[in-house]
Amino acid sequence: MSEVNVAKRKKCENCTKQCNKKQSDDEVNLFQDRDEANGQVNGGSQQLLSACLSCDGCLSEEENLKISQQSLEEVERVLALNKKCDVSKHKVLVASVCPQSLPFFAVKFGLDISEAACKLCCFLKSLGVHYVFDTTLAAGFSILESQKEFILRYHRRNHDSHALPMFTSCCPGWIRYSERVLGSLVTPHICTARSPQQIMGCLVKDYFSTQQKLSPEKLYHLVVAPCFDKKLEAVREEFYNSLLETRDVDCVLTSGEIYYLMERRKIIVEELDLVPLDHVLGETGDSVLVRHEGRGSEGFLEHIFKHAAKELFGLDVHEITYKTLRNRDFQEVTLERDGETLLQFAAVYGFRNIQTLVHRMRKGHVPYQLVEVLSCPGGCLSGRGQAESEKEHRVDKALVQQMEEAYSSLPVRLPEVNPVLHTLYQDWVEGQDSSHVSSLLHTQYRNQSQSHSQPIYMQW
């Protein structure tokens, strides 16, 4: 990984210069966002630079230390320990692969997604990983919990000024920007449902470990994701069990890092066996990969929109029509009846569009009840951990288009009709209205003061 880190560091130093150069145009609005939200008046370009997430994010020394274990070297260290004689230090390795990462491997391998998933599973198990899961199940939990929360917020909208609009919570880049810069302007509006990654972490360390009769700290949970920001999400304090000294997700590696490891080991894809992914419940039947509705980022907007239309107004919505506003990454959908607008949702992707949304919200000009917010232009498939060109350090549009086509080839399964989810709601959290739902499937987002100084370079 040293070669990869050096390349990234050079690029990041250049990004920092560009950020310093351009920030004078944006700093007034950014400070207004933060100051009005937090009731503070601050100045200085360094603070703006530290807050800016228009690229991959600036890290403090503390954060840099926290993610030092989010690396190939750390995974290889754990694998090496398992090969030694001291069984007491052995870990059961579990890998969870995000569905947005699978199209990357499908394109790189020249295979369909199902075959690529099996090849990837074979490779991971050849390293010493014991179980390989797909996180679509966890995303189903996140979608269902987001749907329920939206309905509750909608009903209290008239007496709770923070109820609507509701912002989705699946993107860690957006969450980090909200907590560090926007503060109370936005954080009360963020859906409390955990992201698919962190629900998967909890599912593995809480439910699966119990099924395997293992203490959670005996499991080492690796997530393969399209986005670098997922590394920072994994080390959040609320996802750490101080009693057992274990995290829900021990390590996040991007799709590109896994592919780099395969290249380094000179893996020939054609020689890898087709090994099916494992199932959390241990089933050995249906191994067909499925996806959720939407544009490649789990489709929170579409699922919540259709659910709300049925639950609130008794309307069945089968097809959703997106209206493009500023660009492809700023779109809205509307539910109308007899000329009356019942619901108005928006999908806002990329830092520039997020800024537009925030400016409108500060002025009270946001007509939406829900906004699906993602920090990567194009959504999760365009995550910098897999869509960036190695030579030019910019998003490879041709690669992204191929990944979108591969992802759309998967059949859609609504989480509402997934029998495994219904089983886990009963067996794991003891019912959809149980007190365990709040502790296992939800979290809270808060203002975070920046009392530390940031380094002049960025990690990625």
In a domain, 254, yes or no: yes
In a domain, 363, yes or no: yes
- Band (44; pLDDT cuts 50, 70, 90): very low
Residue 87: the pLDDT is 81
Residue 96 reports pLDDT greater than 50 = yes
Sign, Cα dihedral of 67, 70, 76, 81: positive
Task: Work out the average pLDDT over 222-236.
Answer: 93
Paired tokens of 112 = 């369909």
Residue 25 reports pLDDT greater than 50 = no
* 368, 345 contact by CB (below 8 A): yes
Task: Work out the average pLDDT over 65-78.
Answer: 86
266: left (phi over 0), alpha (psi -120 to 50) or beta: left
Residue 65: the pLDDT is 74
CA distance 305 to 371: 11
* 319, 333 contact by CB (below 8 A): no
pTM: 0.85
Model pLDDT for residues 349-380, shown as the tens digit of each residue: 998 899 999 999 999 889 999 999 999 999 99
Q: How much is the mean pLDDT over the chain?
A: 84
Task: Work out the average pLDDT over 163-189.
Answer: 92
Residue 190 reports pLDDT greater than 70 = yes
DSSP E strands, 238-296: 240-241, 246-247, 251-254
- Tell me phi and psi for residue 137, to 5 degrees: -60, -45
- 7 or 270, greater pLDDT: 270
Nearest to 368 by CA among 330, 327, 333, 339: 333
- Band (61; pLDDT cuts 50, 70, 90): confident
Model pLDDT for residues 376-400, shown as the tens digit of each residue: 999 999 999 999 877 767 889 999 9
Q: Which of 61-75, 122-136, 382-396, 437-451 has the highest mean pLDDT?
A: 122-136
In a domain, 369, yes or no: yes
- The number of domains in the chain is 1
Q: Which of 8-22, 84-98, 102-116, 364-378 has the lowest mean pLDDT?
A: 8-22
Residue 312: the pLDDT is 97
Task: Work out the average pLDDT over 76-82.
Answer: 92
Dmax over CA atoms of the chain, in Å, equals: 73
CA distance 241 to 202: 11
Paired tokens of 391 = 């030579």
Model pLDDT for residues 102-121, shown as the tens digit of each residue: 999 999 999 999 999 999 99
Q: In what order do the strands lie in the sheet with 131-134?
A: 131-134, 92-97, 219-225, 251-254
CATH number reported for the structural domain that contains residue 151 in this entry: 3.40.50.1780
Residue with tokens 């290249």: 263
- 63 or 342, greater pLDDT: 342
Paired tokens of 132 = 């390989």
Residue 452: the pLDDT is 37
* 336, 321 contact by CB (below 8 A): no
Q: pLDDT over 90 for what percent of the chain?
A: 63
CA distance 387 to 389: 7
Residue 8 reports pLDDT greater than 60 = no
Task: Work out the average pLDDT over 230-252.
Answer: 91
**CA R_g for the chain:** 22
β-pairing, 246-247 with 240-241? Answer: antiparallel
Residue 14 reports pLDDT greater than 50 = no
* 272, 119 contact by CB (below 8 A): yes
CA distance 7 to 390: 9
In a domain, 22, yes or no: no
How many H-runs (helices) and E-runs (strands) does the chain carry? Answer: 17, 11
In a domain, 323, yes or no: yes
- Band (223; pLDDT cuts 50, 70, 90): very high
In a domain, 33, yes or no: no
In a domain, 29, yes or no: no
Nearest to 63 by CA among 460, 379, 387, 350: 460
Residue 388: the pLDDT is 86
Q: Residue 184: which domain range?
A: 61-441
Residue 47 reports pLDDT greater than 80 = no
Residue 440: the pLDDT is 95
Nearest to 286 by CA among 159, 134, 167: 134
Residue 342: the pLDDT is 97
In a domain, 240, yes or no: yes
Contacts of 365 (CB under 8 A, 6+ apart): none
Task: Work out the average pLDDT over 134-158.
Answer: 96
Which residues partner with 372 through β-bridges? 347
